[in-house]
């Protein structure tokens, strides 16, 4: 197992130089789905996580055929290098990365620092709505070893066979608040899954939005007993912040067995009879 896999990160400089290269597609995915219209990396596609990266009927990740259509319309085929970036230090860029890995896309990368760093460096922005020559895309069978479901989280709580990592803010972890300030409450109870460790997602990042280095990340998780020796399940509220932690653990620290529990607190905190710790 390699200690790190830095080839999954690209710099803003790299994107500025290669955004329109053949075989490369830059894609912005934001929490705030209007951010793309406020200016984006020239040549980038924009994906809406609320409509395009999920099943809009059943609560689930994007269905394979819907993803194939989205990728095809974005001018992406199975050989394209996809570089994702977005606001909030790449929360939903990592969410998209996670789903693309579930469906087996080989070359997916994250622009380190995301939209925050690109803006702070006052790099070029475009308000164009790009259209791409449509391509054909075929997903692979979903790799569900990257995803945790409710029974996996329940089993981890009971058996301690996997480390549960709660990446929400300390106030959400303790139940003092039910949602991030300014956002709608989406659960009936506050607190956390019994036995979970509180390691907020932001601790993975530097002030400029880039990811911390291997040694810093290793020390951060080791301090909470998360060493990669046993499986890890990360969760947050709806699974996007925890996809950032999943990315850091799997690709920057090289842990073999890391899963993102996308049901997260909106599932556990609404479940009748589910044990809660504060």
Smallest distance, Å, CB 65 to other proteins? 31
Tokens standing for 255? Answer: 């842990």
Q: Which one, 79 or 278, has the nearer CB to other proteins? A: 278
Tokens standing for 29? Answer: 């995915």
Rounded to whole angstroms, the Cα distance separating 276 from 278 reads: 7
Catalytic annotation on 236?
yes
Rounded to whole angstroms, the Cα distance separating 118 from 85 reads: 10
Q: Which one, 52 or 87, has the nearer CB to other proteins? A: 87
Smallest distance, Å, CB 230 to other proteins? 26
Rounded to whole angstroms, the Cα distance separating 72 from 75 reads: 5
Strands 54-55, 60-61: pairing is: antiparallel
Ramachandran bin of 43, using left for φ above 0, alpha for ψ from -120 to 50, beta for the remaining angles:
left
How many residues belong to the chain? 278
Q: Which one, 2 or 184, has the nearer CB to other proteins? A: 184
Nearest to 136 by CA among 213, 88, 47, 70: 70
Smallest distance, Å, CB 224 to other proteins? 18
Partners of residue 47 on adjacent β-strands: 29
Can you give the three-state secondary structure of 230-263, one letter per residue? CCEEEECCCCCHHHHHHHHHHHHCCCCCEEEECC
Tokens standing for 167? Answer: 């990446």
Smallest distance, Å, CB 143 to other proteins? 28
Residues in contact with other proteins by the rule CB under 8 A: 30-32, 34-35, 38-39, 87-89, 91, 119-120, 122-127, 168-172, 174-185, 190, 200-202, 241, 278
Q: Which one, 120 or 144, has the nearer CB to other proteins? A: 120
DSSP 180: S
Smallest distance, Å, CB 205 to other proteins? 9
Q: Which one, 176 or 229, has the nearer CB to other proteins? A: 176
Active site residues: 236
């Amino acid at each position: 197992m390699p200690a790190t896999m830095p080839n999954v990160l690209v710099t803003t400089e790299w994107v500025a130089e290669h955004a329109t290269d053949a075989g490369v597609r830059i894609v912005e995915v934001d929490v705030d789905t209007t951010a793309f219209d406020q200016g984006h990396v020239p040549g980038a596609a924009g994906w809406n996580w609320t409509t395009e990266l999920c099943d809009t009927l059943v609560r689930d990740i994007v269905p394979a055929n819907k993803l194939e259509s989205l990728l095809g319309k974005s001018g992406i085929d199975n050989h394209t290098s996809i570089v994702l970036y977005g606001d909030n230090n790449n929360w939903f860029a990592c969410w998209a990365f996670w789903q693309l890995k579930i469906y087996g896309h080989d070359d997916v990368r994250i622009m380190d620092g995301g939209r925050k760093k690109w803006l702070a460096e006052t790099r070029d922005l475009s308000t164009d709505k790009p259209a791409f020559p449509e391509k054909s895309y075929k997903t692979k069978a979903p790799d569900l070893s990257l995803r945790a479901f409710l029974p996996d989280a329940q089993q981890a709580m009971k058996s301690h066979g996997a480390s549960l990592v709660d990446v929400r803010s300390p106030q959400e972890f303790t139940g003092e608040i039910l949602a991030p300030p300014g956002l709608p409450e989406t659960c009936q109870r506050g607190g956390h899954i019994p036995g979970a460790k509180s390691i907020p997602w932001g601790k993975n990042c530097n002030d400029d939005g880039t990811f911390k280095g291997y040694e810093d990340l290793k020390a951060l998780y080791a301090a909470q007993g998360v060493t990669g020796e046993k499986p890890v399940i990360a969760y947050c509220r709806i699974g996007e912040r925890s996809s950032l932690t999943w990315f850091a653990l799997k690709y920057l620290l090289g842990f073999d067995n890391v899963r993102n529990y996308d049901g997260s607190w909106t599932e556990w905190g609404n479940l009748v009879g589910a044990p809660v710790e504060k």
